[in-house]
Amino acid sequence: MLICTFFFLQSCSQTQKPVDTANTKSYKMENPTTKNNPYYSRSDKTKLNVPDSEWKKILPPDLYAVAREANTEYPFTGKYNDFDQLGEYYCAVCGNHLFRSDAKFSSTCGWPSFFEADKDGVAYKRDSSHGMERIEVICKRCDSHLGHVFNDGPPPTGTRFCMNSVSLDFEPDKK
C-alpha cells in the first residue's frame, strides 16, 4: 500500500526538485506581481514569445521555477489544493484563462485537480522525463508549465488535470 501511495504521488509530481510554496511568501488569491508584469492580461490572447531571461526578472522565484523550469510544488502545500470557491482560474504568468471552478474536484493527490480545461487556454506536450511517459499541460499563450494531465479523473471526461497552485491565479465570481 505504501508503495502504491508513493507511485501515485510521484506520477503527479513534475520534477525531482519540488518548490516549497508553504515556506515562501504567501500570496493573496490574485498574483501581486501582475502590477510589474507588462505581459499579464486577462483579455489579450496574443501568443507571447518572451525569453526566460525576461521572465526571470519579472516573476517571483517560486513561480519562475515551476512555470519556466517545470519544477513542482510539494504535495498538499499549494494555496488552491483545499480550495473550493466559485470562480475562474487564470495563468499566474500571463493571465490567460485556464479553468472554471465548476471543473475542480478533490482528487486527494496533493495538487489542485480539474476534470476539464479551457480548450483555448491550454496546450499539451509529451513529457518523457524521470522515466515516465506523461502529458504536460502548458499555457497556450505563454508556454508556461502548469502541471500534467492523467486519464484517471472523474466523469464526465475521465481526465485529471493535476496543476501547481503557484501557476494559477483565481478570481472569484461576483455575487
Active site residues: 162
d(CA 104, CA 113): 6
Burial class (CB in 10 A: 0-12, 13-18, 19+), 108: exposed
- DSSP-derived pairing of the beta strands 145-150 and 160-163: antiparallel
Looking up cell 455575487 gives 175
Q: Give whole-number Cα distances, 63 to 85, 102, 129, in Å.
A: 22, 25, 20
Burial class (CB in 10 A: 0-12, 13-18, 19+), 6: exposed
Number of residues written out for the chain? 175
Q: Which string of DSSP letters, residue by residue, matches 50-75?
A: --HHHHHHHS-HHHHHHHTT--EEPT
